[in-house]
């Protein structure tokens, strides 16, 4: 059914303290393929007790791991990277089966996930401190970087591998240990990562994976005084809850939450390039990414041309089972996801929007939705405020640059924004005014391990990737050396 070259990558147990284990209760959670509805595997339904054990193991492992050299940690991470890439095909198949994204995209995500491991294998060796010129003759001022300690990670289903390696790789590089709770929809990718980490030589207890009941596992992770940092990618409501739960132990936090990305097309844009960028930023992963364009703000003079060209490009997308050749759009993750998309489109159409393309469930059934373009969308419609998380592009109209900036910033979110313009002065002006953590200018693709990924406002705290991504797992210690 899964057809893996290495069937041992399909793990159906938790990985705690270097051992594969069932839940104490013996209960399991079924993992289903969203394209077929079939159950492909089952994983343990763990809770508080297993999480406590994983945290205790991470605490124990920290004693040794934090004292390894950066070079040793780097070599282990480098081996993990090599194993991810040499198993790219199997890992991609596993991901498509549990998540639904087209195989080419899944394999692309494996390369992207592995790139974080390679990057942090390199950055591990560059966690430099500082020597600050002292204002006192008899005192030296030195700043060192130390690992934060035991970390906990909670990740979503839309990028089942990359959201994990962006957290686990810098944690390990810094000398931290980490316990992960992957999303219940996509635990197989996480467990395969753990299997390969073990083969790469990650010592027991340094990286554990606990699958199961989100609230029970999250409750223990956030309350534990041993856990010094929580790193989370997911929805803003759950992020708020976890942040509140972490208050009692004043944990360090990295939160990568929801977005409401504007994609602004100015009259002076290269329309074909903007359409290509729109397709890349909107329809990747069937619209289920936190940096997907959520609102297309298109200037009057170019609106009709852009709408027509986008509809034409959308007609070229191939909807189907992600394992089939040539498919560019898989099913949505589950029934709740498609119900939300349907409700948002119904609301827009009911308030006067026009479907230029798509606008309903796809004939294939299940959770497939037609790639959709909506014209004449206004700020009064729910799509203006809510994250769509589906293959729907709503086109808003604007007249002036100021109006576009106002509309773009008129949201509680601030993750990614995009805009297309050929005017250099405008490029700088607009970039400065957008209240977002990341801005794509004349490009719809912004993600790379070398750049800091993260948001402002309700989109979160902290950055992942780049040298900043390592800093998130390090504490700064100041040494005042007196009596010199």
User: Per CB under 6 A, does 183 bind ligand ADP?
Assistant: yes
Which of 105, 471 has the CB closer to ligand ADP? Answer: 105
Total of chain residues touching ligand ADP, rule CB under 6 A: 13
Smallest distance, ligand ADP to C-beta of residue 460, A: 12
User: Per CB under 6 A, does 358 bind ligand ADP?
Assistant: no
Give the sign of the dihedral formed by CA 151, CA 157, CA 158, CA 160. Answer: positive
User: Per CB under 6 A, does 215 bind ligand ADP?
Assistant: yes
Q: Which residue's CB comes closest to ligand ADP?
A: 218
Which of 73, 166 has the CB closer to ligand ADP? Answer: 166
Which of 88, 236 has the CB closer to ligand ADP? Answer: 236
Which of 34, 156, 322, 444 forms a contact with ligand ADP (CB under 6 A)? 156
User: Per CB under 6 A, does 48 bind ligand ADP?
Assistant: no
In the residue annotation, 256 being an active-site residue is answered as yes
User: Per CB under 6 A, does 241 bind ligand ADP?
Assistant: yes
Q: Which of 109, 195, 256, 387 is catalytic?
A: 256
- Count of beta carbons in the 10 Å neighbourhood of residue 361: 17
Smallest distance, ligand ADP to C-beta of residue 42, A: 16
Which of 87, 155 has the CB closer to ligand ADP? Answer: 155
User: Per CB under 6 A, does 271 bind ligand ADP?
Assistant: no
User: Per CB under 6 A, does 214 bind ligand ADP?
Assistant: yes
Smallest distance, ligand ADP to C-beta of residue 288, A: 8
Smallest distance, ligand ADP to C-beta of residue 241, A: 6
Smallest distance, ligand ADP to C-beta of residue 156, A: 4
User: Per CB under 6 A, does 235 bind ligand ADP?
Assistant: yes
User: Per CB under 6 A, does 399 bind ligand ADP?
Assistant: no
User: Per CB under 6 A, does 223 bind ligand ADP?
Assistant: no
Q: Which two tokens stand for residue 320?
A: 């189907």
Say if residues 185 and 334 touch (Cβ distance below 8 Å): yes
Q: Which two tokens stand for residue 342?
A: 């349907």
User: Per CB under 6 A, does 186 bind ligand ADP?
Assistant: no
Which of 234, 455 has the CB closer to ligand ADP? Answer: 234
With contacts defined by CB under 6 A, name the span among 1-9, 109-117, 127-135, 233-241 that binds ligand ADP: 233-241
Which of 308, 461 has the CB closer to ligand ADP? Answer: 461
Q: Comparing C-alpha atoms, which of 310, 285, 349, 280 is closest to residue 359?
A: 349
Which of 147, 460 has the CB closer to ligand ADP? Answer: 460
Which of 401, 464 has the CB closer to ligand ADP? Answer: 464
User: Per CB under 6 A, does 218 bind ligand ADP?
Assistant: yes
Q: Please name the residues in contact with 428: beta carbons below 8 A apart, sequence gap of 6 or more.
A: none
**CA separation for the pair 392, 341 (Å, rounded):** 8
Smallest distance, ligand ADP to C-beta of residue 153, A: 9
User: Per CB under 6 A, does 155 bind ligand ADP?
Assistant: yes
Q: Comparing C-alpha atoms, which of 146, 197, 192 is closest to residue 169?
A: 197
**CA separation for the pair 148, 477 (Å, rounded):** 11
With contacts defined by CB under 6 A, name the span among 58-66, 80-88, 117-125, 235-243 that binds ligand ADP: 235-243
With contacts defined by CB under 6 A, name the span among 45-53, 84-92, 149-157, 412-420 that binds ligand ADP: 149-157
Smallest distance, ligand ADP to C-beta of residue 92, A: 21
List contacts with ligand ADP (CB under 6 A).
154-156, 181, 183-184, 214-215, 218, 234-235, 238, 241
Residues with catalytic roles? 256
């Amino acid at each position: 059914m899964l057809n893996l070259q290495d069937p041992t990558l399909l793990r159906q147990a938790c990985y705690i303290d270097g051992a594969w284990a069932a839940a104490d209760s013996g209960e399991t959670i079924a993992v289903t393929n969203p394209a077929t509805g079939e159950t492909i595997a089952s994983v343990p339904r763990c809770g508080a007790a297993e999480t406590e054990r994983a945290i205790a193991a991470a605490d124990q492992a920290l004693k040794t791991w934090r004292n390894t050299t950066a070079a040793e940690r780097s070599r282990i991470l480098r081996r993990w990277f090599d194993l991810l890439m040499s198993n790219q095909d199997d890992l991609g198949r596993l991901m498509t089966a549990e998540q639904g994204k087209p195989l080419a995209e899944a394999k692309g995500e494996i390369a992207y996930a592995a790139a974080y491991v390679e990057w942090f294998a390199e950055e591990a060796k560059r966690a430099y401190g500082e020597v600050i010129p002292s204002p006192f003759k008899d005192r030296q001022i030195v700043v060192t970087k130390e690992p934060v300690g035991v970390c906990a990670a909670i990740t979503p289903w839309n990028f089942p591998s990359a959201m994990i390696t962006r957290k686990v790789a810098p944690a390990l590089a810094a000398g931290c240990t980490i316990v992960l709770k992957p999303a219940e929809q996509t635990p197989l990718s996480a467990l395969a990562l753990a299997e390969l980490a073990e083969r790469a030589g990650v010592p027991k207890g340094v990286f554990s994976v606990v699958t199961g009941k989100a609230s029970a596992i999250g409750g223990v992770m956030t309350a534990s005084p041993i856990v010094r940092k929580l790193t989370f990618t997911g929805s803003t409501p759950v992020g708020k809850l976890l942040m509140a739960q972490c208050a009692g132990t004043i944990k360090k936090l990295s939160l990568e939450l929801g977005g409401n990305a504007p994609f602004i097309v100015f009259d002076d844009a290269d329309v074909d390039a903007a359409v290509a960028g729109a397709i890349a930023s909107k329809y990747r992963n069937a619209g289920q990414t936190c940096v997907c364009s959520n609102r297309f703000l298109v200037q009057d003079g170019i609106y009709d041309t852009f709408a027509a060209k986008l509809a034409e490009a959308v007609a070229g997308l191939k909807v189907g089972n992600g394992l089939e050749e040539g498919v560019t759009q898989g099913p949505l993750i589950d029934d709740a996801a498609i119900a939300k998309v349907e409700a948002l489109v119904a609301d827009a159409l009911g308030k006067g929007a026009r479907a230029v393309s798509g606008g309903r469930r796809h004939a294939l059934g299940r959770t497939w939705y037609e790639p959709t373009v909506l014209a004449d969308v206004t700020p009064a419609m729910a799509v203006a405020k809510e994250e769509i998380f589906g293959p729907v592009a709503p086109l808003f109209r604007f007249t002036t640059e100021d109006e576009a900036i106002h509309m773009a910033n008129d949201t509680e979110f601030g993750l990614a924004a995009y805009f297309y313009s050929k005017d250099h002065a405008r490029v700088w002006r607009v970039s400065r005014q957008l209240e977002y953590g990341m801005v794509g200018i004349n490009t719809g693709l912004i993600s790379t391990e070398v750049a800091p990924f993260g948001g402002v406002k309700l989109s979160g705290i902290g950055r992942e990737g780049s040298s900043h991504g390592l800093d998130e797992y390090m504490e700064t210690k100041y040494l005042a050396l007196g009596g010199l």
